[in-house]
């Protein structure tokens, strides 16, 4: 098969053979021109895992790595991202005291960091609830996020964060305390006003402007791969589809594609993005 003229990287996608289309969704991405993807672990509950120890999170991570291996077999380059979904705190706190819930999430992140050290994953994922929560729950979540920043700094890897919409200005100071460069803290579902590294949804209206300004950003589908929520997000083809549209309309050159989908990805995550 002829290699595509430029790389196309999805910075945040889930592939879930249990609850969604699985490999068929990955093939859609591939056929639309996708070349590389950051495969993010799903929340534990979506795999029917209800953690009470760090080892329980290993089941979720091992599943992500199994899926990654299958997706590689169709010719895609897969970079696994492992972590604990910030909304887990609400679910765990129903079963245990809040402090214990936060400790368990930190332990889960510690387990994920082990996979990064072994070279099985390239980055961690954490954050804080994107919905309204009590001050106690927010404080506990910030503690978990701080722990994730420290772990990412120790592993010299990037951290994807899922948080409230908006810039997340306070995370800059947290990153400084943890000694991780803000360029390696990736705001998932970002708005362009964030001082963190923005991973923008593929259809974001600001893309043509950011490309003209030569700003660093990455593109994501945030495809959930859940048959029960088909309309919840845009599909697995969205990053290649919107990239190809921008190229066709003259708003993105092949050089811009290499800048966004290879150079920036390499700079943020410390991975190599090559074609063919
Ligand atoms: Zn996600």
How much distance in Å is there from the Cα of 1 to the middle of ligand 1? 30
Q: What is the pLDDT of residues 57-98, one digit of tens each?
A: 999 999 999 999 999 999 999 999 999 999 999 999 999 999
How much distance in Å is there from the Cα of 222 to the middle of ligand 1? 5
For residue 234, name the pLDDT band (cuts at 50, 70, 90): confident
Average pLDDT over the chain reads 96
Task: Please enumerate in sequence order all residues whose Cβ is within 8 A of that of 73, keeping only pairs 6 or more positions apart, or say none.
Answer: none
How much distance in Å is there from the Cα of 224 to the middle of ligand 1? 6
User: Are 40 and 160 spatial neighbours (Cβ–Cβ below 8 Å)?
Assistant: yes
Q: What's the pLDDT at 230?
A: 63
How much distance in Å is there from the Cα of 87 to the middle of ligand 1? 11
Q: What's the pLDDT at 58?
A: 97
Task: Please enumerate in sequence order all residues whose Cβ is within 8 A of that of 136, keeping only pairs 6 or more positions apart, or say none.
Answer: 98
> Which residues sit opposite 185 in a β-bridge?
159
Q: What percent of the chain has pLDDT over 70?
A: 97
How much distance in Å is there from the Cα of 32 to the middle of ligand 1? 21
How much distance in Å is there from the Cα of 40 to the middle of ligand 1? 7
Q: What's the pLDDT at 227?
A: 86
- Among the listed residues 102, 85, 106, the one whose alpha carbon sits nearest the alpha carbon of residue 93: 102
| 16 burial type by CB count under 10 A (0-12 exposed, 13-18 middle, 19+ buried) | buried
d(CA 223, CA 210): 23
Mean pLDDT of 268-276: 94
Q: What is the pLDDT of residues 135-171, one digit of tens each?
A: 999 999 999 999 999 999 999 999 999 999 999 999 9
d(CA 206, CA 55): 41
Alpha carbon distances (Å) from 51 to 85, 90, 122, 201, 203: 12, 13, 23, 30, 35
d(CA 122, CA 80): 6
How much distance in Å is there from the Cα of 2 to the middle of ligand 1? 31
- pTM for the predicted model, two decimal places: 0.97
Question: Residue 183: phi, psi to the nearest 5?
Answer: -65, -15
Q: What's the pLDDT at 3?
A: 66
d(CA 259, CA 219): 12
Which position has the token pair 């949804």? 201
């Amino acid at each position: 098969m002829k290699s595509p003229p430029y790389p196309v990287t999805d910075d945040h996608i889930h592939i879930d053979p249990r609850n969604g289309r699985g490999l068929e969704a990955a093939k859609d991405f591939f056929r639309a021109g996708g070349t590389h993807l950051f495969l993010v672990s799903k929340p534990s509950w979506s795999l029917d895992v209800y953690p009470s120890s760090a080892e329980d999170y290993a089941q979720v991570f091992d599943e992500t790595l199994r899926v990654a291996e299958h997706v590689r077999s169709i010719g895609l380059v897969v970079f696994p991202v492992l972590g604990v979904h910030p909304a887990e705190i609400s679910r765990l706190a129903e079963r245990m005291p809040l402090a214990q819930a936060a400790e368990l999430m930190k332990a889960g992140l510690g387990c994920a960091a082990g996979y990064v050290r072994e070279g099985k994953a390239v980055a961690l994922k954490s954050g804080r609830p994107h919905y309204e929560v009590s001050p106690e729950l927010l404080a506990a979540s910030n503690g978990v996020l701080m722990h994730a920043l420290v772990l990412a700094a120790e592993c010299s890897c990037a951290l994807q964060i899922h948080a409230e919409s908006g810039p997340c200005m306070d995370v800059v100071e947290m990153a400084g305390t943890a000694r991780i460069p803000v360029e390696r803290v990736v705001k998932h579902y970002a708005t362009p006003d964030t001082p963190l590294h923005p991973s923008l949804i593929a259809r974001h209206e600001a893309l043509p402007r950011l490309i003209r300004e030569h700003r660093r950003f990455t593109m994501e589908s945030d495809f959930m791969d859940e048959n029960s929520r088909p309309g919840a997000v845009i599909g697995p083809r969205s990053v290649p589809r919107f990239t190809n549209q921008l190229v066709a309309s003259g708003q993105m050159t092949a050089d811009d594609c290499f800048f966004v989908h290879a150079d920036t990805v390499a700079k943020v995550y410390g991975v190599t993005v090559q074609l063919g």
